[in-house]
Structure 1
Amino acid sequence: MLLVAVVGSGLHHESSEISSALAISGSLIGLSLAFGAVSGGHFNPTITLLQWLSGRRKLDCTVWYLAAQVAGGLAGALVACAIFKTAPGPPGDGLPDMAALASEGVASFGLMTIVFCCTRSTSKLVGPFAVGLWLMAAILSTPTGSIANPAVAIALLATPDSASVSATPLFVIVEIVGGALAALTVSTVYPDGG
């Protein structure tokens, strides 16, 4: 459902950057509130990997989450294409420049910092809104529009303006590194875990 909003807001003929940012951040807030009690409300493989690396998630659970996140992202992109009566385009082959990689690193660092700081809050309502607000700001203030999610980066391969096959793995790596740096930063700011 998140990718229906991501891709659909880009395909909507009257959509502006601001309306896309509102659609994407609003969908993430709603989905996080709806599914938070079931899955932790996260749809981002970076969170899953970092939970596994920190010992908070078992390997088999991590594999299932990663598979579901990527499959769900691809399905959402294809559904958006179907409802807008447009076909996925052929994947591109260009490499991102350093500005695009830095953009994704910063967007992911910011997103994961917000996520990990909010997990230390006593209110379950803080996280979805804080994450949604950060995402809206990052979409509007970064050159890449803040993909900040490896499942989204992969799913964009199945859109009319398909992502580059060469760029996608680089974005995924930078997003995970940005998330890992955020986790390290948060553990320094909150050394006692709370």
Structure 2
Amino acid sequence: MLLAAVVVGSGIAAARLSPEDTGLQLLENAAATAAGLYAVILMFGPISGAHFNPVVSLVDAAFGGISRRDALAYIPAQVVGCVAGAALANAMFAEAAVSIATTHRASGAHLLAEVVATVGLLLVVFSLARTGRAATAPAAVGAYIGAAYWFTSSTSFANPAITVGRMFSDSFAGIAPASAPAYVVAQLAAGVLAIALIRTLYPGVTPQAAADVVLPHPEPVKATT
């Protein structure tokens, strides 16, 4: 929920603060998203592994980091959370809680960009887990997404749940419902491609490594006397 609120809310703020400069709007939106993603992963990583993204959850399940049942259970919560986050962002800026986006984005170039963005995100996450550097994931993921806002024509949604949530805000960050299904298909296809690439580039990803894709599982908190 918070992640979607960051993405959509910063997009609304950017459009209001820099109404005549699209490049500056994108810079503001990207910077807020990168920083917000870093903070939100730190906040929720030790609790849930920061599973905000259905593609990450499904790929994690493919490597045995979580069960397939858990991955499928996460997806409705991820989608509902992103829709609620978009509504919250709209309300914070005195907009209608739900407004259907009208920005069409689904050209061939956009869909190719979504495949690239999503594969890159998954490579970042799983390469760090495979090499024992999962603790650096919050910063790395935030930095990658912030950069991908700029080097992809789609501005790197890279998350089916965020894609659905952004349909419900007719703002700088929105995506028209007619464009969203193609984005989701591209992101899921990227997940399949990423599995093959991860197995090739980082063979031997164990279930334990996959379980630590965002942050290592915390040690139990010991009671003090």
TM-score (norm 1): 0.91
Q: Cα distance, 1:150 vs. partner?
A: 0.3
Q: Residue 125 of structure 1 aligns with which residue? A: 135
Aligned match for 2:196, one of 169, 172, 184:
184
Q: Higher mean Cα deviation, 147-156 or 84-93?
A: 84-93
* Contact in 1 for aligned 2:105/2:175 (Cα 8 Å): no
Distance 2:194 2:38 in 1: 21
Q: Once superposed, which parts of structure 1, at least 4 consecutive aligned residues long, lie more than 4 Å away?
A: 91-95
Aligned match for 2:187, one of 169, 172, 175:
175
Aligned residues: 194
Aligned match for 1:40, one of 26, 49, 57:
49
Once the two structures are superposed, what CA deviation does each residue of 1:63-97 show, in whole Å capped at 9, x if it has no partner? 22111110110010000000001123335495711
Unaligned runs of 5+ in 1: none
**Match runs of 1:100-179 below 5 Å:** 100-161=110-171, 162-179=174-191
Distance 1:86 1:27 in 2: 22
Root-mean-square deviation over aligned CA pairs: 1.9
Distance 1:90 1:193 in 2: 41
Q: Residue 6 of structure 2 aligns with which residue? A: 5
SS of residue in 1 equivalent to 2:121: helix
Distance change in 2, residues 1:138/1:95 (3 Å): closer
Q: Cα distance, 1:144 vs. partner?
A: 1.4
Distance 1:92 1:11 in 2: 14
TM-score (norm 2): 0.80
Distance change in 2, residues 1:104/1:127 (3 Å): same
Q: Residue 36 of structure 2 aligns with which residue? A: 27
Once the two structures are superposed, what CA deviation does each residue of 1:126-179 show, in whole Å capped at 9, x if it has no partner? 111111111010012211111010001000111024522222111011011112
SS of residue in 1 equivalent to 2:130: coil
Distance change in 2, residues 1:71/1:40 (3 Å): same
Question: Greater Rg, structure 1 or structure 2?
Answer: 2
